Amino acid sequence: MTHARTRIKICGLTREADVDAAVAAGADAIGFVFYAKSPRHVTPARAAELAKRLPPFVMPVGLFVNADAAQLAEAQAALPQMLLQFHGDETPADCARAGRPFIRAARMTPGFDLLDFAQQFSCAQAILLDAHVEGYGGGGKVFDWSLIPGNVPSPVVLSGGLHAGNVAEGMLRVRPWAVDVSSGVEQAKGLKDAALIRQFCAAVRDADAQIAALPPT
């Protein structure tokens, strides 16, 4: 089967210039963080301003951590076309209650049963694999990719400490449907670096070409 290109999500954007840089580099999705304790947090109103810069077919994604119904409703009203991404302790019922397509983050650690988790969240558009750290989010840390079983029933988004120097290795080992980067393309927390974004996207495309050239398995 022909290798499909790996989708790219740049997460944690807070500035117009960063949105423009991500779009210019070929990102497929832009992430806005609605978790107030994150240094990359934006309000729904601010995210809506930034999302106006997105051309057709570039998807805004909203990251939530244990948000209540009012917070979800406010963000969805501001960005009606947004894909939801849940990073907290949300249950399958919590995610479904939002009534919108969603991605569910899994915090990878030894002993974590990813297959059972993916089965519980079978309604998710994809399972995002991130490092397990104190609090919520990956903290820019790479987790042990050998923890990922080869038969995850949902599309996989590889995240956690990715940057231009390691994303190709992650793609070759995991073969994810998409990759997600935040701190790996930053000059400071919440402030992206256009050159690093370009380098990351170029590295993903190079890895796609390597994968496409491999003999069929």
Nearest C-alpha neighbor of 15 from the set 30, 36, 35: 30
Say whether 130 is catalytic. yes
User: Which residue in the list 11, 18, 95, 201 is annotated as catalytic?
Assistant: 11
Helix (H, G, I), strand (E, B) or coil at 146: helix
User: Which residue in the list 18, 28, 130, 180 is annotated as catalytic?
Assistant: 130
In 10 A of CB 198, how many CB atoms? 17
Residue 74: enclosing H or E segment and its boundaries? helix 69-78
What φ, ψ does residue 209 adopt, rounded to 5°?
-65, -40
Strand-pair category, 191-192 with 156-158 = unpaired
User: What are residue 178's DSSP bridge partners?
Assistant: 7, 157
Residue 106: enclosing H or E segment and its boundaries? strand 102-108
Sorted by sequence, the CB contacts under 8 Å of residue 217 that are 6+ apart come out as none
Say whether 144 is catalytic. no
Q: Indicate the burial class of 112 (C-beta count within 10 angstroms; 0-12, 13-18, 19 or more).
A: middle
Q: How many residues in the chain?
A: 217
Residues recognised as catalytic: 11, 130
